[in-house]
């Protein structure tokens, strides 16, 4: 039978009690597994033991967001939305065998959405079925606290809040502890866990490498479009200033800040948004995310990699046109002269000419019109991260760049999130991924990730030799219909982009005023 949900199977006994999932087409699914509990602004604690068998057939609650996203761009990135609660410490597991002796590699997925939004199931392609069935790994995806629930710095208001600015990350550490203690019962190897995430999830992968409590809980790391530029953290408001601003509309005095723990979620979100608007009017910014303290060491681009993180095999990559939000290029009706004019109009005649020459060297198979869409947000920080880690690490560091041009709106180069379905072996689920050669690319990209998770080496059938990066030689695997490698391919391009590309700041800004129509895109992350 394709489906099984019986009184006796599939049931797994965890350290705290029994869970029952369901089996479908050879894969056991366990949804909504509670891995921790926590009071608002405070560190998570493991769940208590229970008697009997708990149901694990429904996804768990996701973290509340501070503003409802407006669905758009769903053809590019299909989404799913779900009920929310600040008590959102739930995870999901997909496995083809619950045999404790199977010792399959474990792939622990951390969703995107910055540190403010998203969930383990928000994108349709965040589904572990195919990786479990076709690639024989155990997939875990996880929800955790976000935005003001996970990263509000309350440390000025009491010792119990000393790490409130990092409790969202602490949730992830607790989830990894759950994996270490329980994943063998789901057929996984607790000594072979790969953390991987995209955008905000990729950033969280880099942060976990800098948290001593996470050491030994994972053994490989994959960062997808997640190395955040340090200049995005300029002119930020202090934690205390923000909390004081939140207290004002709630009429809570400073010496009673602890009352924020009990403010109902809708009222708390209203006060946070009101405070953020006030902060922006003062010329300061609010950016949810972790902050260095005794728990989290530092951003490795601003300080140093921890000694342990340098022993963890790492893969880091991004996509060609990350945040090129405009319409597609009508490349089928453009001559080479048209394309060159477009690029020179964008960068200026001098800059455009130089960039065209270097773009042709780096991307010989890509229409030159897409030189105007090149990412200059994640790519410079990614290159810096890879070079710095490769120079000092004892473990291998690999780099990739997803450069596919999609037949969408006349032609669109790989956008933020467009690589995720292929790495999940889920391109078949996403209509826009049904491009020429999609099945080959789907198989090759997922196989590279799985090979890396299994052995620490992404080389796989269908790819040319993929060498690790070394000091002075950054090797990039360009993932496209025809994959190839280049050494130091960004060294000439990035200075030209910095010199000639019109500057564009990336800031979501303050929430819309209450009487205004809500803004924002669901698909940005």
Lowest-confidence region among 21-35, 60-74, 279-293:
60-74
Whether 423 maps to a domain, the answer reads yes
Separation CA 86–CA 62 (nearest Å): 8
pLDDT in tens, 135-168: 999 999 999 999 999 999 999 999 999 999 999 9
In a shared domain, residues 137 and 58:
yes
Per-residue confidence at 437, pLDDT binned at 50, 70, 90? confident
Token output for 121:
């199931």
> 133: how many CB neighbours lie within 10 A of its CB?
17
| pLDDT value of residue 471 | 95
In a shared domain, residues 255 and 392:
no
| pLDDT value of residue 230 | 78
8-state DSSP, 478: E
191-217 burial code (b ≥16 CB/10 A, e <16)? ebbbbbbbbbbbbbbbbbbbbeebeeb
Residues 465-486 have a mean pLDDT of: 97
Whether 348 maps to a domain, the answer reads no
In a shared domain, residues 268 and 386:
no
Per-residue confidence at 525, pLDDT binned at 50, 70, 90? very low
In a shared domain, residues 525 and 456:
yes
Boundary of a domain, candidates 281, 311, 342: 281
Total structural domains in the chain? Answer: 2
| pLDDT value of residue 506 | 60
In a shared domain, residues 393 and 448:
yes
Separation CA 80–CA 74 (nearest Å): 10
In a shared domain, residues 246 and 274:
yes
Residue 64 above 90 pLDDT? Answer: yes
Residue 75 above 90 pLDDT? Answer: yes
In a shared domain, residues 310 and 268:
no
Average pLDDT over the chain, rounded to whole? 95
In a shared domain, residues 273 and 191:
no
Whether 351 maps to a domain, the answer reads no
Whether 51 maps to a domain, the answer reads yes
In a shared domain, residues 176 and 268:
no
Whether 362 maps to a domain, the answer reads no
Separation CA 195–CA 400 (nearest Å): 17
Per-residue confidence at 523, pLDDT binned at 50, 70, 90? very low
Whether 467 maps to a domain, the answer reads yes
In a shared domain, residues 292 and 256:
no
Q: Is 169 helix (H, G, I), strand (E, B) or coil?
A: helix
Walk across the sheet containing 220-224 and list its strands.
3-4, 22-24, 27-34, 90-95, 138-142, 104-110, 188-198, 220-224, 314-319, 397-402, 475-479, 484-487
- At 476, which CATH number? 3.40.50.1820
Query: What whole-number percentage of the chain has pLDDT above 90?
Result: 91
Whether 324 maps to a domain, the answer reads yes
Separation CA 176–CA 183 (nearest Å): 10
Whether 364 maps to a domain, the answer reads no
- Extended strands (E) in 296-410: 314-319, 397-402, 405-406
Residue 522 above 80 pLDDT? Answer: no
In a shared domain, residues 480 and 383:
yes
Higher pLDDT, 93 or 507: 93
> 85: how many CB neighbours lie within 10 A of its CB?
15
Domain that holds residue 265: 237-281
Residue 7 above 90 pLDDT? Answer: yes
In a shared domain, residues 225 and 143:
yes
Residues 64-73 have a mean pLDDT of: 88
Boundary of a domain, candidates 251, 266, 281: 281
Residue 27 above 90 pLDDT? Answer: yes
HEC assignment per residue over 349-375:
HHHHHHHHHHHHHHCCCCCHHHHHHCC
Residue 508 above 80 pLDDT? Answer: no
Residue with tokens 């809040």: 161
| pLDDT value of residue 312 | 98
């Amino acid at each position: 039978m394709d489906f099984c949900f019986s009184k006796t199977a599939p049931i797994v006994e965890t350290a705290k009690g029994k869970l029952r999932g369901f089996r479908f087409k050879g894969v056991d699914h366990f949804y909504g597994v509670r891995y921790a509990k926590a009071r608002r602004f405070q560190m998570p604690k493991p769940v208590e033991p229970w008697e009997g068998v708990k149901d694990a057939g429904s996804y768990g609650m996701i973290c509340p967001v501070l503003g409802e996203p407006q669905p758009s761009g769903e053809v590019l990135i299909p989404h799913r939305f779900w009920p929310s609660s600040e008590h959102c410490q739930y995870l999901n597991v997909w496995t083809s065998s619950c045999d404790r002796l199977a010792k399959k590699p474990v792939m622990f997925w951390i969703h995107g959405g910055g540190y403010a939004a998203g969930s383990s199931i928000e994108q349709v392609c965040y589904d572990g079925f195919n990786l479990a069935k076709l690639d024989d790994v155990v997939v875990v995806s996880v929800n955790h606290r976000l935005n003001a629930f996970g990263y509000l710095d309350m440390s000025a208001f009491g010792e119990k809040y000393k790490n409130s600015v990092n409790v969202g990350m602490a949730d992830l550490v607790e989830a990894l502890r759950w994996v270490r203690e329980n994943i063998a019962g789901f057929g996984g190897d607790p000594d072979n866990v790969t953390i991987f995430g995209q955008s905000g999830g990729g950033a969280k992968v880099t942060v976990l490498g800098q948290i001593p409590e996470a050491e030994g809980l994972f053994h490989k790391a994959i960062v997808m479009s997640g190395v955040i530029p340090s200049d995005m953290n300029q002119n930020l408001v202090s934690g205390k200033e923000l909390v004081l601003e939140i207290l004002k509309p709630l009429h809570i005095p400073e010496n009673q800040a602890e009352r924020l723990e009990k403010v109902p979620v809708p009222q708390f979100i209203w006060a946070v948004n009101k405070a953020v608007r006030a902060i922006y009017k003062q010329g300061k910014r609010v950016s949810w995310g972790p902050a260095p303290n005794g728990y989290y060491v530092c951003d490795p681009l601003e300080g140093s990699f921890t000694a342990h993180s340098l022993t963890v095999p790492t893969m880091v990559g991004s996509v060609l046109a990350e945040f090129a939000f405009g319409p597609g290029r009508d490349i089928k009706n453009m001559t080479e002269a048209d394309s060159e004019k477009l690029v020179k109009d964008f960068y200026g005649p001098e800059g455009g000419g130089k960039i065209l020459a270097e773009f042709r060297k780096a991307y010989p198979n890509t229409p030159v019109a897409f030189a105007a869409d090149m990412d200059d947000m994640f790519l410079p920080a990614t290159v810096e991260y890879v070079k710095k880690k490769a120079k000092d690490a004892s473990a291998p560091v690999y780099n990739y760049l997803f450069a596919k041009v999609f037949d969408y709106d006349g032609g669109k180069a790989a956008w933020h999130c467009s690589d995720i379905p292929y790495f999940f072996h889920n391109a078949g689920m996403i209509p826009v991924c049904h491009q020429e050669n999609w099945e080959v690319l789907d198989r090759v990209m997922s196989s590279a990730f799985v090979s890396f998770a299994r052995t620490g080496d992404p080389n796989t059938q269908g790819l040319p030799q993929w060498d690790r990066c070394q000091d002075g030689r950054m090797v990039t695997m360009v993932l496209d219909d025809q994959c190839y490698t280049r050494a130091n391919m960004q060294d000439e391009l990035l200075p030209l982009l910095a010199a000639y590309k019109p500057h564009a700041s990336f800031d979501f800004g303050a929430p819309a005023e209450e009487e205004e129509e809500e803004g924002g895109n669901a698909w940005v992350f």
